[in-house]
Amino acid sequence: MLLAVDIGNTNIVFGLYEGERLVHTFRVSTVRTRTEDEYGVLLLDLLNLRQVSVASIDAAIVASVVPPLTDVMVAAIRHAFSREPLVVGPGLKTGVRILYDNPREIGADRIVNAVAAFERVKGPAIVVDFGTATTFDCISPKGEYLGGVIVPGIQVSLDGLLQSAAKLSRVELAVPERVLGRNTTHALQSGVLIGHAALVDGLLERLEAELGYSSTVIATGGRAGLVAKNARRIGSVDPNLTLEGLRILYEKNRDRSGAQRSPRARPAPESS
142 and 82 in a common domain? no
Is the domain of 86 the same as that of 148? no
Q: Is residue 113 part of a domain?
A: no
Domain presence at residue 248: no
Q: Are residues 36 and 73 in the same domain?
A: yes
Residue 160 falls inside a structural domain: yes
Q: Does residue 267 sit within a domain?
A: no
Range of the domain at 152: 123-240
Q: Is the domain of 257 the same as that of 221?
A: no
176 and 73 inside one domain: no
* pLDDT given at position 257: 60
What per-residue confidence (pLDDT) applies to 62? 98
Domains in the chain, number: 2
| DSSP structure class, residue 133 | E
- Kindly provide the b/e burial profile for residues 46-58, where b requires at least 16 CB atoms within 10 angstroms of the residue's own CB: bbeeeebebeebe
Check residue 141 and give its pLDDT: 97
Q: In whole angstroms, give the CA distance from residue 45 to residue 105.
A: 34
Taking the CA of residue 35 as centre, how many other CA atoms within 13 Å lie in the half-sphere pointing to its CB? 3
Q: How many other C-beta atoms are found inside a 10 Å radius of the C-beta of residue 37?
A: 13
Catalytic-residue membership of 255:
no
Question: Which CATH number does the domain housing residue 34 bear?
Answer: 3.30.420.40
Residue 59 placed within a domain: yes
Q: Side-chain half-sphere of 220: how many Cα atoms within 13 Å?
A: 24
Low-confidence ranges of the chain (pLDDT < 70): 257-272
pLDDT at 200: 97
What's residue 14's pLDDT?
98
User: Which residue of the set 37, 101, 109, 238 is catalytic?
Assistant: 109
pLDDT for 216: 98
pLDDT score at 65? 95
What's residue 268's pLDDT? Answer: 35
Let me know whether 6 and 56 are in one domain: yes
What pLDDT score does 269 carry? 36
DSSP 71-88: HHHHHHHHHHHSEE-EE-
pLDDT at 149: 97
138 and 86 part of one domain: no
pLDDT at position 258:
53
